Structure 1
């Protein structure tokens, strides 16, 4: 597809992404830990619903490009935040905890969402993976494999952002009553809080040891997105009747490659910071593009059940995750 065809929609999504990044840097919003991704999708949804069907058709190719190609590039660059040395440093107990939390949350999300609440597969799976792995980034990556409707993606992102934000206020209040040392609390927070930014906020409320440990455990949990996407791709292929075929998400392989590069090569700090800034902008632009195609009427049509599912998973992460931490780490 030629660049002139992409320019109108891509320019709008990029401007909204830049606005999200700029707003997230404002001191008042930074204290609230409202990430650029969250603000970008909100801005996109506002514009998309105000303009509605009056949005010119010429915008569609660029918006679709942002949702697909920019998103995948952003997921790949996200790997520069993780090194295999960090994963090794957390020890087998914390790694086992990450595996237990991700596996149990995905299983519970699908079971409760499908059996109890009667949700469709995509909505249940998107909400579950956002809660289990890494919030909005996991929902977006999973959407590229499922090719779910924008409204379902938006409600999954909104629900995990809502309850992940509650963690910022809840976890520091719980800390004195949990009987966990700062390091153990960092493991607990990293294994159970939704977004990386939220993990940082929770850890900072306790101290540097809790923060450092929480971020490492959380980034290790993020890496589990890769095997999840491979399993999901294989499941999709089997459901489609493609014997022996597995839909390999190439960006997941590239994500692992970026992690390996970050483990072996020490980039100059300034260059690394610029690449991470670019990554944030790419993901924010993809979120804005998603928001532009999300109509409130479609989200309302999904009803309160996705929010209830996210609430139940929030409770499982806080309570079940605590007991798993005591069992595997404490």
Structure 2
């Protein structure tokens, strides 16, 4: 089957599977499922892409990904931040900065991992899993193998974290709403926040989703800030100080902010809004399936234990450190 038909088919299959009770209870959204399906197909000998297919795969990973992120803005609104309170926004900002900073330091300085791999793993843990990794990859031009490894480790520990929340809640001694904030501020994926919140209560789930969506919204300014900082670092470390380093502005992130703003202040019919949201999910699922087809177990295995250990450390920091940070900022 031509890859131009195969990738949309994989995306549709992933979206359909995500709606079933089995996968929704596991907290597996369409994006992780799409990369699993793409990886499975990519390991079959009869589906090794030729040069023309590789061009289409690259198109999906870049152009369709950007369109999907822009469309995703229609799933968010600025009013959601106001409704949940400024403390939750501050908490999300702290979580993102702390997890990203510690993860980047450990990955680059201590584990000596490639810079883009450490950054992608840290971003995925700090903000919104695989979607954040793909959005950041488009800005820092990371190597394909490093993107694959970062997605695999974040999906693994994000799923493990989701199953940990009900156990933690039994010993937390916090209210349902407070624990919902904790879930939203530390869960890797939106679907995992939904699944974990449902095990507590409807109130906990709604709160978790709102706080999680605020973290997703912070992806846009974060990428802009990261792009500028990395551009300046690259400029100061170059040997030729007279040369100017071009800072590439990820315009699709600005598009993301614009669509979120439109959704915040314009009255959009529910059918149109649902169409935008479904389109976003479809485009992102295609991009993930394309990434999966480029994913090979040998490449992940060759990276060694350090990327997995980095993701594990961030997983522990989110659950333990995030819990105490929630206690300081929310419960106090």
* Category of TM-score, reference length = shorter chain: over 0.9
**Residue 277 of structure 2 is aligned to residue 271 of structure 1:** no
Partner of 2:59: 65
Partner of 1:246: 247
**Segment drifting more, 271-280 vs 241-250:** 241-250
Partner of 1:93: 87
CA contact (8 A) 2:42 2:48 kept: no
Aligned-partner Cα distance in 2 for 1:29–1:221: 23
TM-score (norm 2): 0.93
Aligned-partner Cα distance in 2 for 1:121–1:308: 16
Q: 1:167 aligns with which of 146, 161, 167?
A: 161
Partner of 2:306: 305
CA contact (8 A) 1:188 1:214 kept: yes
**Residue 197 of structure 2 is aligned to residue 203 of structure 1:** yes
Q: Post-superposition shift, 1:83? A: 0.6
Q: Runs of at least 4 residues of structure 1 off by over 6 A?
A: none
CA contact (8 A) 1:75 1:141 kept: yes
TM-score (norm 1): 0.93
CA contact (8 A) 2:14 2:30 kept: yes
Q: Post-superposition shift, 1:279? A: 1.1
Superposed, 1:27-66 pairs within 5 Å as 27-51=21-45, 54-66=48-60
Aligned-partner Cα distance in 2 for 1:62–1:9: 8
Give the secondary structure class of the aligned counterpart of 2:98.
helix
Partner of 1:119: 113
Cα-Cα RMSD: 1.8
**Residue 286 of structure 2 is aligned to residue 285 of structure 1:** yes
**Residue 103 of structure 2 is aligned to residue 109 of structure 1:** yes
CA contact (8 A) 2:197 2:205 kept: yes
Aligned-partner Cα distance in 1 for 2:226–2:46: 33
Q: Post-superposition shift, 1:237? A: 2.5
Aligned-partner Cα distance in 1 for 2:123–2:321: 17
Which runs of no fewer than 5 residues in structure 1 stay unpaired? 1-6
Give the secondary structure class of the aligned counterpart of 1:329.
helix
CA contact (8 A) 1:10 1:65 kept: no
Partner of 1:187: 181
Give the secondary structure class of the aligned counterpart of 1:234.
helix
CA contact (8 A) 1:42 1:288 kept: yes
